[in-house]
């Protein structure tokens, strides 16, 4: 099961919106682009939007007002705000307007995508079941072939990232950004260590440690049905 949603990208700078739209589509999301605040409000209030990526400095209607109008409508859509401003007060104002999270410009793509996935978890199913592995996200319980296994917090989050994108390659940078909130840990052995522990627990008595989680050398990992 792959997490899919429609993302409204409200950004007036084509140098940002066009490559970001392509990156989101590669992740499997459907993207609606809005070049100004008025178009963003209309799309957010009339479409089936899973998440809004909202530039603070939009023309016509600025990002803060767009966010306020979305919240005033009663729609509970996750809002990720983009801002080139560095003043902490601006961030606070954005959150007070109803934004769920913010990313400062310039941003790292892996970090932004990780934040998108994290915000979309509120719409994710409570149960993900693939290839004999059942994850109950609310209860933080994992069953393998009917038997419950104990996972540490990072192992659970690592498995959730992989299962949410089953069949797709998840890069090391994306995993580090989402699970450890640090896409810069490229030389760290932390990910490999946790991956090794997770594989052993998923394998149980089996000697085939790679049956469910495949390594794509030089790129990352992929969860397979097995």
Rg of the chain (C-alpha set): 19
Q: How far apart are CA 138 and CA 154, in angstroms?
A: 16
* Domain annotation for the chain: domains and CATH numbers: 6-122 (3.40.50.2300), 126-223 (1.10.10.10)
User: Is pLDDT above 60 for 144?
Assistant: yes
Q: Say whether pTM exceeds 0.75.
A: no
pLDDT tens string 70-82: 999 988 899 999 8
Select from 40, 69, 61 the least CA-distant residue to 32.
40
What pLDDT does residue 96 have?
74
CA dihedral 205, 210, 212, 214 (to 10 degrees): 170
């Amino acid at each position: 099961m792959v997490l899919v949603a429609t993302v409204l990208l409200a950004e007036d700078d084509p140098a940002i919106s066009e490559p970001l739209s392509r990156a989101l589509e590669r992740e499997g999301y459907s993207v609606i682009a809005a070049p100004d605040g008025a178009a963003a409000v209309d799309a957010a209030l009339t479409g089936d939007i899973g998440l809004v990526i909202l530039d603070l400095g939009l023309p016509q209607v600025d990002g803060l007002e767009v966010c306020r109008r979305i919240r005033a409508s009663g729609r509970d859509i996750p809002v990720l705000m983009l801002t080139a401003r560095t003043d902490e007060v601006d961030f606070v104002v954005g959150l007070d307007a109803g934004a769920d999270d913010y990313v400062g410009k310039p941003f790292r793509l892996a970090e932004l995508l990780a934040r998108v996935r994290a915000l979309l978890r509120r719409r994710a199913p409570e149960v993900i079941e693939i290839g004999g592995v059942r994850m109950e996200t609310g209860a933080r319980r994992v069953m393998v072939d009917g038997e419950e296994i104990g996972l540490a917090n990072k192992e659970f989050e690592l498995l959730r990232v992989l299962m949410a994108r089953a069949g797709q390659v998840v890069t090391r940078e994306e995993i580090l950004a989402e699970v450890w909130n640090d896409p810069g840990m490229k030389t760290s052995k932390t990910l490999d260590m946790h991956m090794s522990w997770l594989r052993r627990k998923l394998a149980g008595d089996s000697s085939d440690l790679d049956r469910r989680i495949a390594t794509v050398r030089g790129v990352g990992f992929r969860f397979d049905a097995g």
